[in-house]
Structure 1
Amino acid sequence: MDVCELCGRSVVKGTSHHLTPKEEGGTFKPTAFLCVPCHKQIHAIYTNQELSVRLDSIKKLKEDDKIRCYLKWIKKQPGTKSIKIKKSHERSRKK
């Protein structure tokens, strides 16, 4: 089992998250190993531009108010649990 770099849970399935989104020039920049729910949550809350400009590291993500409450909750969930993620209303209105 691997460990999610954002929530710290041991997970069976994880993904590679580009800390600077590929659409913003991050194809060959650093990545982080994240569990699927954390990866989906990040992209549900933040735009790619927001991720590339101010949230381009795990440390910065962990310190952001928008995801802090989610991290507090997800850390209590088993790494094998399937979790549904919904886009935030705020993110939907930005488009």
Structure 2
Amino acid sequence: MSRRHERRAARQERPTAAPAEEAPCPLCLRPIPPGARASRHHLVPRLKGGTHQGTVLLHHICHQAIHARFTEAELARDLTDPSALRSEPRMAGFLAWVAGKPPDFHAPTRAARDRTPKWR
């Protein structure tokens, strides 16, 4: 067996720990139940060198809201952790709105109107 196949087999044999409880979304602080739409957010965008830096699991709607409001440059420069995103005024309306939704709620996210490219 080649080394690549040995590593793959070892990864597949690892036991997976069952979550003790639903982890909260670091952005909206609501729990992420099993089966809810969720996605990984790179704290530093991959395009800005964050490929091997940290990620956090967010509700998919929260992740979409981040990328609808901020450019990759803004995220890399100023918003590299969930607490910075929560304190950003452009997220306040979204966070207040989503706080009243059930943990497995999902809806399409439209691009925010105030996110205009800097080159215009």
State whether TM-score is above 0.5: yes
Please show how residues 9-88 of structure 1 align to structure 2 within 5 Å: 9-11=30-32, 12-88=36-112
Structure 1 runs not aligned, ≥5 long = none
Q: Which has the higher contact order (CA 8 A, sep 6+)?
A: 1
Q: Percent identity?
A: 29
- Aligned-residue CA RMSD (Å): 1.4
Offset at residue 18 of structure 1 (A): 0.2
More helix per residue: 1 or 2? 1
Considering only CA atoms, is the larger Rg found in Structure 1 or Structure 2?
2
Corresponding residue for 2:12? none
TM-score of the pair, normalised by structure 1? 0.90
Offset at residue 41 of structure 1 (A): 0.3
The answer on whether the counterparts of 2:38 and 2:59 sit within 8 Å (CA) in structure 1 is yes
Offset at residue 28 of structure 1 (A): 0.6
TM-score of the pair, normalised by structure 2? 0.72
Q: How many residues align?
A: 94
Q: Which runs of 4+ in 1 moved over 6 A?
A: none
Structure 2 runs not aligned, ≥5 long = 1-21
More strand per residue: 1 or 2? 1
What's the secondary structure of 1:82's corresponding residue? coil
Offset at residue 30 of structure 1 (A): 1.1
Corresponding residue for 2:4? none
Per-residue deviation, residues 22-70 of structure 1 (Å, max 9, x unmatched): 0000001111110000000000000000000000111111111000121
